[in-house]
Structure 1
Amino acid sequence: MIDNRSGKGLSFVRRIYLPRTIGLGIGLFSVMAAVAPLQPPTWVWVLMLLNGLAWPHLAYQWARRSAQPYSAEQRNLMLDSLCGGFWAAAMHFNPLPCVTILSMMTMNNVAAGGKRLVIRGLLAQLAGMLLATSLLGTGLQLQPTALQVYACLPMLTLYPLALGWVCYQLAIKLAEHKRRLSALSRTDSLTGLLNHGSWKDLLLLRFQACRQQHTPAVIALIDIDHFKTINDTFGHVVGDCVLRQLSHDLRRNLREDDLAGRYGGDEFCLILPDTDLGQACLVMERLREQVGGYRNPQLPTLRISLSIGLSAYGPALASPEHWLDDADKALYAAKHQGRNQVNFTHGEAAALKLAYPD
């Protein structure tokens, strides 16, 4: 919901404050120059000064302290439009200052609320004009003086700059929010690693790169041994801590270009580019030993071990799914042969023996 005390409502109020302060402050000169030749009563001058100098700050405090800041600020924008229409009629529709004031307020409504707020603003301006004509009478002042032209110049130059700066800052914030949302959509909330879908997408890209550029790469599937027993014995809070600990160890052991993800549950997945099977095996053995040596003084009986399946890219692989399936078979073999070990398929074992003879 937009109307809230700590989120978008207050942000909206703060965003409007600067353009209103600058716009009404410099717009005061335009109105004074246009109204002065008409010799209005004293109360008009007092109202003019209050509207130009005091109202921006009163409006800000009024909306900021409101239970619904967003709605309160929209009300303030309608009062701005009402006053704009009032001053347009009070200056007897002097073309240059009148168009300057009303167009700048309409620009503000467009930036703040789009079409709906523009329509409401136009109705408020019309109401302001009717109010002014009923109090001050009607008339037309169609020839602006040189003083009135010069008085409008600050409004025509400074106010668009202020509004543009606010819109630029908003665009920067939106881009940052978009970047954060994109990152959140690609990561696992518990571990901070890539989620299943994002990792699979990157696996496809790596597979295509290996095929086109003939570069080596290894994928690894990692399973925490007896993770269900850990959850059942120590509770799910400890289980989550184990998952976070493994993700932390992965970051410590991997290079910047290596891609780690949470495949699901207690299973993790890695893409190790520009790596052969022997190098991957050494890295995974180091990880397995590091995790196996983890001890928690508060849980002395807690032990963590890993079963790891490796699969190196080969030109015979028909698809990323086949590559992943080979790693899954190697993981299954590691678990079937007693767990707490690194394993790979028979064909890769032979290739490894040739590359790294005893």
Structure 2
Amino acid sequence: MRFYQATTFLFPRSYERRILLVCFGAVHVPLIACVVFQAVTGHWQLDTLVTLLVATLVGTGLGLAAIHALLSPIGQATTMLQAIQAGERIAVIPQGTDDLVGRLLNGVAIAANETAARIEQLVDAAERDPLTGIRNRRGFLDSAEQILRGRSNAVLALIDIDHFKHVNDEFGHDTGDVLLKALARRIEDHLRRSDIAARWGGEEFAVLLPDTTLDEARLVMERLRATVALDTNLGVQDRAVTFSCGLAPVRSFTQLGEATKQADAALYAAKNGGRNQVHVLGL
């Protein structure tokens, strides 16, 4: 470590060049010694000096090229560590042997895999509702942005459990939590693979149905509403549970905010219209 620090003045920002310079000087020691010896003795042998000079230059070139190649794994390891620090995934991780550089590469590979897994766990935890296990609002918006990146014919649905406050007041919050988890499972079970669902907040859920018309979305949500209304196994002592739903079209992620307002207004209309129904403004 002391020699490393003592030689930083040579090439402060290039460890590789420092090694190459040291090797370059070491290779020329025999030539310098021969020149000094002949100068001291006064017996100059030019053919010997020329031969030694040429051999030294060729050996230097070959040695520097070999050292440069041997140092390339360290450069790769450095690049991978920088990518890990930036939160990027490492597509290809080179495998090393059981030497110093190989152990370095293997250590970086382990760090890359563990870091990637940890980041994925953190991202998943940040985008999942801890109670129901489905997406939270943040996870929903991130997924919606990917789906609505291009032009799309999608529908946003907002679902609200009817009389949920009465459930909490009469049966307790534990029963309310059981109901939220059960309804979340029902929603995900009855949606298509392309649809995404999330707990929007409280007893409210959001669903995005891509490549879907309002009529198609209404049919999907009506089927779900009827299924839930007939299900007596949602954790509320064999009582039927119903929900109200508001729908709104959305064609791009920039329009999602406005679509949310429209779906919320439609949901409010469904509540005022007697609950247990799917509503679309203007229909």
How far apart are 1:281 and its partner, in Å? 1.0
- CA shift in 2, pair 1:176/1:202, >3 Å: closer
Indicate if the aligned counterparts of 1:250 and 1:287 stay in contact, CA closer than 8 A. yes
Q: Distance in 2 between matches of 1:314 and 1:261?
A: 19
Indicate if the aligned counterparts of 2:175 and 2:236 stay in contact, CA closer than 8 A. no
Aligned position for 1:309: 246
Indicate if the aligned counterparts of 1:225 and 1:340 stay in contact, CA closer than 8 A. yes
Name stretches of at least 5 consecutive residues in structure 1 with no aligned partner: 1-155, 350-358
Q: 1:96-116 CA distances to partner (integer Å, 9 max, x unpaired)?
A: xxxxxxxxxxxxxxxxxxxxx
Query: Which TM-score applies when normalising by structure 2?
Result: 0.60
How far apart are 1:299 and its partner, in Å? 5.0
Aligned position for 1:236: 173
Aligned position for 1:327: 263
How far apart are 1:191 and its partner, in Å? 1.4
1:339 aligns with 2:280: no
Q: 1:209-268 CA distances to partner (integer Å, 9 max, x unpaired)?
A: 3xxx3x311100000001111111111111111111111111111112211111100000
Indicate if the aligned counterparts of 1:207 and 1:319 stay in contact, CA closer than 8 A. no
SS of residue matched to 1:255: coil
Q: Distance in 1 between matches of 2:120 and 2:251?
A: 35
Q: Distance in 2 between matches of 1:187 and 1:202?
A: 12
Q: Distance in 2 between matches of 1:275 and 1:343?
A: 16
Indicate if the aligned counterparts of 2:155 and 2:250 stay in contact, CA closer than 8 A. yes
1:184 alignment partner, one of 122, 125, 142: 125
1:175 aligns with 2:96: no
SS of residue matched to 2:99: helix
Count, aligned residues: 189
Aligned position for 2:157: 220
Describe how 1:264-279 pairs up with structure 2 within 5 A.
264-279=201-216
How far apart are 1:271 and its partner, in Å? 0.7
Query: Which TM-score applies when normalising by structure 1?
Result: 0.48
Indicate if the aligned counterparts of 1:220 and 1:311 stay in contact, CA closer than 8 A. yes
Q: 1:10-60 CA distances to partner (integer Å, 9 max, x unpaired)?
A: xxxxxxxxxxxxxxxxxxxxxxxxxxxxxxxxxxxxxxxxxxxxxxxxxxx
Percent identical: 37
Indicate if the aligned counterparts of 1:207 and 1:320 stay in contact, CA closer than 8 A. no
Q: Which amino acid aligns with 2:267?
A: L
Q: Which has the higher helix share?
A: 1
Over the residues paired in the alignment, what is the CA RMSD in angstroms? 2.8
Indicate if the aligned counterparts of 2:242 and 2:276 stay in contact, CA closer than 8 A. yes
How far apart are 1:324 and its partner, in Å? 1.1
Q: Distance in 2 between matches of 1:313 and 1:242?
A: 29
Describe how 1:62-211 pairs up with structure 2 within 5 A.
158-204=99-145, 206=147, 209=150
- CA shift in 2, pair 1:208/1:160, >3 Å: closer
Q: Which amino acid aligns with 1:239?
A: G
Q: Which amino acid aligns with 1:199?
A: F
How far apart are 1:334 and its partner, in Å? 0.5
Q: Which amino acid aligns with 1:263?
A: W
Indicate if the aligned counterparts of 1:204 and 1:320 stay in contact, CA closer than 8 A. no
SS of residue matched to 1:319: helix
SS of residue matched to 1:222: strand
Q: Distance in 2 between matches of 1:192 and 1:287?
A: 19
How far apart are 1:174 and its partner, in Å? 1.4
Name stretches of at least 5 consecutive residues in structure 2 with no aligned partner: 1-96
Q: Distance in 1 between matches of 2:117 and 2:234?
A: 41
Q: Which amino acid aligns with 2:159?
A: I
